[in-house]
């Protein structure tokens, strides 16, 4: 719990790039990509750097990448 509060307080963000199409991917993968706010290929968004966001990216590593 304390770690989550520190992450939110520090304002740490992670940049996520949508680099491969989800056309032939399962419906759940499409929902994950859309829930992160990604709509176009090669789009980059910034999201809070927490376990939930990292978990989303880890579920579809063939579609998304984290840009350091």
36 domain residue, yes or no? yes
pLDDT of residue 11: 84
3 inside domain: no
Q: For residue 20, what are its two tokens?
A: 């491969």
CATH code assigned at 41: 3.30.1390.20
- What is the secondary structure of the chain as a DSSP string? -HHHHHHHHHT-EEEEEE-S--TTS-HHHHHHHHHTT--STTEEEEEE-SHHHHHHHHH-TTTEEEE-
| Token output for 63 | 């579609």
**pTM for the full predicted model:** 0.81
**Structural domain for 57, as ranges:** 9-67
- Encode pLDDT of 5-64 as tens digits: 555 557 899 999 999 999 999 999 999 999 999 999 999 999 999 999 999 999 999 999
Number of domains in the chain: 1
Task: Answer whether residue 27 is part of any domain.
Answer: yes
Domain contains 2: no
Domain contains 1: no
Query: Is 30 a member of any domain?
Result: yes
């Amino acid at each position: 719990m304390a770690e989550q509060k520190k992450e939110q307080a520090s304002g740490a963000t992670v940049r996520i790039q949508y680099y491969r199409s989800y056309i032939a991917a399962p419906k759940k993968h499409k929902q994950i990509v859309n829930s992160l706010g990604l709509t176009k290929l090669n789009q980059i968004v910034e999201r809070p750097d927490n376990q939930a966001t990292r978990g989303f990216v880890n579920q579809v590593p063939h579609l998304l990448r984290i840009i350091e």
